[in-house]
Structure 1
Amino acid sequence: MQLQSESNPALNTVTAYGKDYIEINEVTYGHAVYFAPEGPIHTWEVHRFSDITAATLKLVAGIVEVPADPMAFLDGGGSGPRKPPDAPEVLLIGTGTAQHLLPAAITGPLLQMGIGVEAMSTQAAARTYNILMAEGRRVVVALLPLQETA
């Protein structure tokens, strides 16, 4: 399905999707991908919905583990994942042909950092991403190709 006829070449835009492919800026990908409005398109090492974990979502959102610093308590900090300054406001997850909701144990770490996580069908995620991206929002999307996603 063609999503839009015009796109800003400076921004990553979902231009089409179909069975077993996702098209970004008129380049076709036959595997799961994740990306932000600017920057590279990354291969997402997730093949079906059941492969999604808290770790795969942290990767997509750009969250990295920080080694324990025994003196961090002096500055009010600690160890564990830290939200980078350029972290997305929202992470959209396209779960394939059908919407599948993610368990709280998987989304909780990002939600605790103030990053919204929304799971929806890939079609809905692609459309929502394009709208939020066009509004200038800090959004990241991870899309599974249209296929059965059990």
Structure 2
Amino acid sequence: MQLQSESNPALNTVTAYGEDYIEINAVTYRHAVCFGPEGEVHRWSASGPGAISRASLRQAAGLTESRPDPMAFLDGTPPSRPANAPEVLLVGTGSQQRLLPAETVSELLSMGIGVESMSTQAAARTYNILMAEGRRVIAALLPLEPTQ
């Protein structure tokens, strides 16, 4: 499906998607990708919905491994969102929405990062809207599965 956009051409925009591909700024990708409004489009490590893990969500959100303070539990405050973290991570799970297990998203949620899983089509459209609004959003999209 071709998407029309009136957004800033300097920002990463999903311009099309279809069976086995995702197009960002008129460049076709035939693998899972993660990206934000600015910067590079990266290959996402998840190869399918079942391969989405805490580590792959951290990678998509652009978070680096940090050593937790072993005494942090004493003050009772939850971990705060890192400065470079998105407000929301949109996860496109292919042709159908597949909900992610609570244990997979709990780390990001505890940092104040929203995680929404939906079909790749819905995630692409939602990303374009939020990006156009100037929101700090990251999309992690699996290509649509080929129809048989």
The TM-score normalised by the length of structure 1 is 0.87
Aligned to 2:51: 51
Identity of aligned residues (%): 66
Q: Note the C-alpha offset of 1:82.
A: 6.8
Partner of 2:67: 67
Residue 112 of structure 1 corresponds to 110
Q: CA deviation at 1:60?
A: 1.0
Whole-angstrom CA distance in 1 between matches of 2:57 and 2:68: 22
1:14, 1:111 → 2: CA distance? Answer: 25
Aligned to 1:133: 131
Name the Cα RMSD after superposition: 2.1
Following the alignment from structure 2 to structure 1, what is the Cα–Cα distance between the partners of residues 140 and 67? 27
The offset of 1:7, in angstroms, is 4.2
The DSSP-based 3-state class of the residue aligned with 2:125 is: helix
1:66 aligned counterpart, secondary structure:
coil
Could you report, residue by residue, the CA deviation over 1:60-86 in whole angstroms, capped at 9, with x for unpaired residues?
Answer: 11222223667x76xx7xxxx873212
Q: Provide the rounded CA distance (Å) in 2 between the counterparts of 1:120 and 1:68.
A: 30
CA distance in 2, matches of 1:132, 1:24: 15
8 Å contact 2:80–2:112 — kept in the other structure?
no
Q: Cα distance 1:84–1:18, how it changes in 2: closer, same or farther (>3 A)?
A: same
Whole-Å separation in 1 of the counterparts to 2:53 and 2:91: 12
Q: Which amino acid aligns with 2:63?
A: I
Deviations 1:89-134 (A, max 9, x none): 0000000000000010000000000000000000000000000000
Task: Name the count of aligned residue pairs.
Answer: 143
Report the Cα distance in structure 2 between the residues aligned to 1:117 and 1:24, rounded to whole angstroms.
21
Contact 1:65 1:82 in 2 (8 A): no
Gaps of 5+ in 1: none
Measured in 2, the distance between the counterparts of 1:20 and 1:122 equals 11
Aligned twin of 1:23: 23
Structure 1 residue 47 displacement after superposition: 1.2
Runs of 5+ consecutive residues of structure 2 not aligned to the other structure: none
What one-letter code is carried by the residue in structure 2 that aligns with 1:93?
V
Alpha carbons 1:14, 1:130 under 8 Å: kept: yes
TM-score scaled by structure 2?
0.88
Using the TM superposition, give the Cα deviation of residue 5 of structure 1 relative to its aligned residue in structure 2, in angstroms.
4.8
Separation in structure 2 between the aligned mates of residue 69 and residue 96 of structure 1, nearest angstrom:
37
